[in-house]
Chains A and B, each alone.
Chain A
Amino acid sequence: MNNLESLTYFASEGFLSVYIILLLAASLLIRKEQGTPGLYYSLGIFGLAVTLALEIVACATRPGSTEIFHGLLRSDSLGRLFKILCLVSGILFLLFSLLARETSKRFRDSMEYTVLALSLCLGMMLFIASNNILMLYLGMELLSFTSYLLTGFVDRDERTTEAAVKYLLYGAVASGVMIYGFSLLYGLTGSLDFSAIRAYLVANQVSGSMLFISIAFILTGLGFKIAAFPFHLWSPDVYEGAPTAFSAFLSVGPKAAGFAILMRVLYQVFGVGAQAEAPPAAQFDWTFTIAVLSALTMTVGNLAALPQRNIKRLLAYSSIAHAGYALMAVASRSAFGISAVFFYFAVYLLMNLAAFLVAIVIANEYYTERLDGYEGLGWKGPQGAFLASAMAIALFSLAGIPPFAGFIGKVYLLMAVIKKGPGLYWLAVVAVLNTVISLFYYARVVKMMFLSKRVKGAPLSAMTTERYVSYAVLGVLTFLTLLFGLYWTPLDSLSKLTMNFLN
C-alpha cells in the first residue's frame, strides 16, 4: 500500500506530528514571560487527547491488520491497543509534570518540555507499529533521544544531568548493538521488512549460530528498552535522577512499547506464533531463553528492592520486577500470553502511576524522596489518611494481593504460563515466590505510613488547586485499581482483541 492510501491509517500519528510542528510555531508568537502558566502543558495534553481519540476511532472502525507505507508500518489491533496505552500514559505524564513542583506551571522551559514529550509519544507510536528494521530503529532512537533530553531537562541538582548522561551512554551502546544485530539479520535474509524476513527464514530454513548472534544483539536493544536483566542496570539510577513525573512515565509508556515490539518481533519474525505451519527449523526455540531472562529479571528486581530507602529507586526496582513478571507471559509463546501482557500493563499503569503520584505529592510537601518522609502519613489528618490509603491500595495491588487489580493481572500471567504446559511450571513457582519477597518492601512502606508510632513532620498544608487535581486523579486511579480487581470483564474483552493480530 503506497503512501497516500496509508495516510488514512496514519491519522493519529499524522495529526500528532503536525501538532508538534504547530506547537513549535505557536510558541514563537507567545513570548516566554507573559504566557499563562501551564499553557503548554495543557496544549500538550489537548494534542495527545485528540491523538488518543483518533486512535480509538481507528481501533473501532478498522479492526483487521494491514501493512501501510510500503510495509514500513503495520496497523493492527496489538499496535493500536498498546498505542492507546502509551498515549494514556503520555497524557498522565504531562498532567503529573504539571502537578509536580520541579516541573510545575511556572517552569520556564515548559514549551520545549512539551514538544519533547509529544515527539516522545510519536516515537513510541511508530516504534510499536514498525514492521521494518529501519522504522523500528528510527522509532526507538526518536523515543530514546527525547527520553535522554527529558531526563536531563530539569536543572534541579547534579543527579538529573548524571542520570541523563548515564541513560544516553547506556542507551546509545544498547541501540548500537541492536542495529549491528539487525545488520547481521539483513545480511542473513537480504531484506528489511519483517514479513519478507519471515518469508525468507521460513523458505530457507535459516538457523544456526549467526542467526542466534543477531537475535542476541537485537534482544539487547529491546531488553534495554524494557529494562530486563541484564540490561536493567541503567533504570534505577535514571528513575532516581529523572524528574518524578518522567520516571513515572518511563516505567509504563516506553516499557509497554518495548513489550509490544518485543512480542511483534519474537512472534512475527522469529516465532511460530499462531500459524503452526512454520516448520520449527525456521525459528529457534527462544522460550527457554526468555523464561530464564524473566526469572532473573523478577528475582533481581525484587531482591534489590528489599533494602531500598528511596521511594523512586524502590519503585524503579519494582518496575524491573514487574517487567520480569510480564516477560513470563511472553515466554509462554501463546496468543493468550499476548493478551495477558496487555492486561497486565493496563493494570500496571493504574497502580504504578498512582504510587508515583503519591510520591510526587509527598515530594512537593516534604521535599524528600526518602521513605521516612512517609512516617505516620496515615495519621496526618484526612488528607494524610486518603493519601496513605491510596498508596497502600497501589502498593498492595503491586504486590499482587486480591481484591486489587494487580492480583488479577498476575493471575492472567500465571494462567498464560501454566497453560503452556509442564515445561514452564518452575517459572510459575519462581514468580509466586517472588510475590512473597515483593510483599516485604511494599509492606515496609505501608508499615512506615500506618504502623509506626512516631508521627514525623508537619501535617499536610492547605489544599491548592494542584492538590485537588492530583487527589482527583489519584482517586480515579485507585478506584479503577479496586474496580478491575473485582470486575475486569471490560479490560478482558479489550485484551482479547490483541490476540487476533497473529492471524
Chain B
Amino acid sequence: MTYFIKSYGFIIVLLPLLGAVVNGFFGKRLRERFGGTASGYIASAMVFLSFLLSTAAFIVVAGSHGAAIVNHAYTWMSLGTLQVEIAFLFDPLSAMMLLIITGIGFLIHVYSTAYMHGDQGISRYFAYLNLFVFSMLILVLAENALLMFVGWEGVGLCSYLLIGFWFQEKQNTTAANKAFIVNRVGDFGFIAGLFLLYWFLAKAAGPSAGTSILSFSYLAEHAHLLKDATIFGASLATVICLALFLGATGKSAQIPLYVWLPDAMAGPTPVSALIHAATMVTAGVYMVGRLNFLFSMSHTAMAVIAVTGAGTALLAATMGCLQNDIKKVLAYSTVSQLGYMFLAMGVGAWSAGLFHVMTHAFFKACLFLGAGSVILGMHHEQDIRKMGGLRKHMPRTFATFALATAAIMGMPPLSGFFSKDEILWQAWSGEHGHPGLWFAGFLTAGITAFYMARLLFLTFFGETRRDAHHNHHDDHGEHAHDRVISESPAAITVPLIILAGFSAAAGLVGVPAALGGSNRIAEFLAPVLGHHGTAGTHDPIEYVLMAASVCAALAGGGLAYLFYLARPDIPVMLAERLGPVHRLVYNKYYIDEIYGALFVTGTKILSRVLALFDRHVIDLLVNVSGLALRTQARIAGWFDQAYVDGAVNLVADSTLSFGEQVRKLQTGRVQVYVLVLVCMVALGIVIRLMTV
C-alpha cells in the first residue's frame, strides 16, 4: 500500500483535474446527450474516488506512525541553486487535510447536483468546482513551498471563477475581482517572504547543487540557522514570518485583508460552503502549521499572529451581529472562527488550531448548506428578517442547522466545544499565551453564541413573517410553484445530516487530557507539529475556563432568545438609543468604503494621472511643439498641414523651425549671396589672424 502511495500518489490530485477537463470541454455535449445531472455525477464520482484514495493514504500514514511518504512526479525547474520538484508529501497533517477536502468536497458536490439543478452553466460550475478541489489538493500535498504557491494561486483563481459564476450581474464580477486582487496582495507577501528565505538559506546553508532548498524537509532542518540573522536591521526571521503571514491573511481573510470574504457570498451557496468555509480559507492556517518550525523562530511574529487572530475574531463577531443576510452572517462567523485558529497558531497551539480547522470545516459547511437549503426553500430569499417559523416546514434542515449552531456555540458534547476550549486553554496557559488573548477569545465566544442563536431564532422560530403579497424575485430555478415552503430534496438533506453527525462526533477525536481523553489528534499530528501544551497535568484553572466559556455561550444564546423571540421590541429600542454606534457596526465600520476610496479609486486616479503624464509630458515634445508649429504654420501659411501634426518631437520640431531660419537665408538675391561669401571669408581670416 505504501508503495502504491509512493509511486502513484499523484492520482489523487489528477482525478479532480480529469473531472474538470471533461466537464469543461465536453460539458455542453454531455448535457445534451445525458441530461443536466451528468456533469454533476462525473464531478462527484471523481471527488469520491480521490476521497477513497485519501482514506487509503490516511490509513497508511496513521499505520506508519506519521512517517512522511513523498511521491516524486518530475523536476519542475532546476537552475543554478534553484531546484524545484513536482512532488507530493503524505504526512499526518496533509493526510488529515486530504480527508477534510475530499470528504466535505464530495458531500458538497452531491449537494450541488440538487442545488444547481436546471442552471445552464452547470457543467461549467462543476468544472470550476473540480478545478478547485484539484488546486486545493496541490496546495495541501505540495512537498515544497513553490508548488504550494502554485496551489495557493490556483485556489485564488477558482474562487474568482466561482464567485463570479453568475457573471451576468456586475456586482458578482466586482466581488470576484475584489477577491482575486486582495488574494494577490497576500500572494505578494507570500512570494516576498519565500524568496527572502530562499536566498538566506542558499547563502547560509550553502547547499550542494541539486538540493531543493524550498522543500519543507530541508526548511525544517535548516530553520535554526535563522536564529540571529538580520536584514536592514530587523531580524530576518520576523520579516520572513510576517511576510508569509501577510500571505496567510490574504487567503484566510484576516485583518487587514478580510474585506473580500463577505462579498464572496455573491457566489452560489455550495461554493461558499466549500471554499469560503471549509477548505480554501483554512489554507492560511495550514501554511502556518506546515511552517511552524519557521514561525517558532520569531516570537514577535507569533505575537502578531495571535493578536491579529484575536482582533479579527472579535471584530468579525461584532459585525456578524447586525447582518440581515443569512450568508453574510455565516461569512463573518467564518472570519471570526478563522481568527480563533490564528489565535491558536499565535500562541503556539498548532494542533489545537488545526483541530479547530477540522471541526469548523464540518459545522460551518453544515451551516452553509443548511442556509442554502433555506434559501432554496424560500425561493432565493436571503434576508433573515423575511424568514421565520421554518422549523415546521423544513424539519430536517432545522434539526441539522440547530445541531451545527450548537456545535459552533461550543455546547459541551459537540466538537465546537472541544476545539474552542483547547484553543482558549492554550491561549491562557501556552508559553506564548496571555490572559488578554484568552479574554478576547472568551468574549468572542459569547458574541458568537449571540449571533448564531439570533440567526437560528429569526430563521426557524416565531411565525412566518413572509407576508402573503411579497413579490417574487425572478426565479433562478424552474421550480416556480407558489410560495409553499417545502423541505429540500434528499440530495440536499442527506449531506446535511452526515455533516451534522460529523460536527457532533468530530470533537471526540481531540478530547483533552483534562476531561479524560487522550487528545488523539494531537498525538496523530505530533510528528509534524511537535508536542506542546501541558499534557496530563490536571490544572484546575482548565476546568474553570471550560465552565466560563460554556456560561458565555449560554448567556449569548439567552440574550438572543430574549431579544428576538421573547421581546422583539428591545433590539428596535436599542437601535434608536445607540443610533450612531448601531449604524457604525451595521455598516461594518465603513472599512469597505475606506479601502475602496484609499486603494481602488486611489490607484485608478494615479494611473489616469500617469497615463496623462505619459501622453503629454513624455510626449510633451509632440503636443507643445505641434502647437508651436501650428501657430507658426498659420503665420507662414504654406507649411504642409498633414506633416505638422506628424512632427515627431521637440528636438525634431525645433530642427524643423530652425530649418525655417536657415532656409530664410536663401533670399534669392545674388548680391546677398556674394555678401555672405565676403563676410564669411573676412570673418574666417580675422578669426585666424586673431588666434595664430
Contact = CB atoms under 8 A, between A and B. Distances in A.
A220 B655 contact: no
**Main secondary structure on chain A at its contact with chain B?**
helix
Interface stretch (B338-346, B387-395, B492-500, B659-667): B659-667
B643 interface: yes
Interface stretch (B13-21, B127-135, B316-324, B672-680): B672-680
A102 interface: no
B635 interface: no
A177 interface: yes
Given A303-B655, A303-B659, A304-B662, A216 B670 contact: no
A233 B639 contact: no
Nearest to B636: A307
A300 B676 CA distance: 14
Interface residues of B, number: 29
Given A233-B665, A303-B662, A177 B681 contact: yes
A170 B670 contact: yes
A237 B667 CA distance: 10
A230 B662 contact: no
Given A220-B677, A220-B681, A234-B673, A306 B655 contact: yes
The size class of the interface chain A forms with chain B is 20 to 34
B685 A216 contact: yes
Contacts of A304: 659, 662-663, 665-666
A437 B655 contact: yes
B407 to A, nearest CB: 75
Contacts of A233: 665-666, 672-673, 676-677
B73 interface: no
A275 B663 CA distance: 42
Interface string A234-249: 1011000000000000
Given A174-B677, A209-B689, A440-B656, 15 more contacts: A169-B670, A212-B689, A212-B692, A230-B680, A233-B666, A234-B670, A236-B666, A237-B668, A303-B662, A304-B662, A306-B656, A307-B663, A440-B652, A444-B640, A444-B643
Interface in B616-674: 638-640, 642-643, 652, 655-656, 658-660, 662-663, 665-666, 668, 670, 672-674
A307 B640 CA distance: 8
A52 B642 CA distance: 47
B685 A173 contact: no
Contacts of A170: 670, 673-674, 677
Given A234-B670, A444-B643, A307 B684 contact: no
A213 interface: yes
A213 B666 contact: no
Contacts of A289: 684
Nearest to A441: B659
A237 B666 contact: yes
B688 interface: yes
Contacts of B680: 230
Contacts of B681: 177, 216-217, 220, 230
Contact of B688 (A174, A209, A220, A300): A209
Nearest to B671: A169
A221 to B, nearest CB: 11
A309 interface: yes
A388 B115 CA distance: 71
Given A440-B652, A444-B643, A303 B658 contact: yes
A496 interface: no
A165 B671 CA distance: 12
Interface of B: 638-640, 642-643, 652, 655-656, 658-660, 662-663, 665-666, 668, 670, 672-674, 676-677, 680-681, 684-685, 688-689, 692
A300 B639 CA distance: 19
A420 interface: no
A106 interface: no
Contacts of A174: 677
A306 B640 CA distance: 11
B677 A169 contact: no
A231 interface: yes
A165 B670 contact: yes
27 contacts: A166-B673, A169-B674, A170-B670, A170-B674, A170-B677, A177-B677, A209-B685, A209-B692, A212-B685, A212-B688, A212-B692, A216-B684, A216-B685, A233-B672, A233-B677, A234-B670, A234-B673, A303-B658, A304-B659, A304-B663, A307-B639, A307-B660, A307-B663, A437-B655, A440-B655, A444-B640, A444-B643
Contacts of A166: 670, 673
A307 B670 contact: no
Q: Which 10 A-B pairs have the closest CB atoms?
A: A306-B659, A230-B680, A233-B673, A303-B659, A166-B670, A303-B662, A304-B662, A304-B663, A169-B670, A173-B674
A1 to B, nearest CB: 37
Nearest to B656: A306
Nearest to B639: A307
Which of A177, A237, A304, A305 has the most chain B CB atoms closer than 10 A to its own CB?
A304
Interface of A: 165-166, 169-170, 173-174, 177, 209, 212-213, 216-217, 220, 224, 230-231, 233-234, 236-237, 289, 300, 303-309, 437, 440, 444, 452
Contacts of B639: 307
Nearest to B660: A307
Given A303-B658, A306-B656, A309-B640, A173 B677 contact: yes
Contacts of B640: 309, 444
A22 to B, nearest CB: 37
A306 B665 CA distance: 14
A305 B672 CA distance: 20
Nearest to A299: B662
Contact of A300 (B662, B674, B692): B662
Nearest to A306: B659
Nearest to A224: B677
A214 to B, nearest CB: 10
Indicate the member of B672, B688, B689 with the most A CB atoms within 10 Å: B688
Contacts of B662: 300, 303-304
Contacts of B660: 307
B659 to A, nearest CB: 4
A307 B656 contact: yes
Contacts of A306: 655-656, 659
A444 B639 CA distance: 13
A75 to B, nearest CB: 33
A300 B685 CA distance: 21
A231 B685 contact: no
A213 B685 contact: yes
A297 B67 CA distance: 86
A19 to B, nearest CB: 35
A169 B668 CA distance: 13
B622 to A, nearest CB: 15
A437 B659 CA distance: 10
Contacts of A234: 670, 673
Nearest to B680: A230
A201 to B, nearest CB: 17
A309 B642 CA distance: 13
Contacts of A165: 670
B473 to A, nearest CB: 56
Query: Among B666, B677, B692, which residue has the most Cβ atoms of chain A within 10 A?
Result: B677
Contacts of B673: 166, 170, 233-234
Nearest to A301: B662
A433 to B, nearest CB: 9
Contacts of B652: 440
A289 B670 CA distance: 25
Contacts of A217: 681
A174 B674 CA distance: 8
B633 to A, nearest CB: 10
A173 B681 CA distance: 13
Nearest to A296: B680
A437 B653 CA distance: 10
A166 B658 CA distance: 26
Contacts of B666: 233, 236-237, 304
Nearest to B692: A209
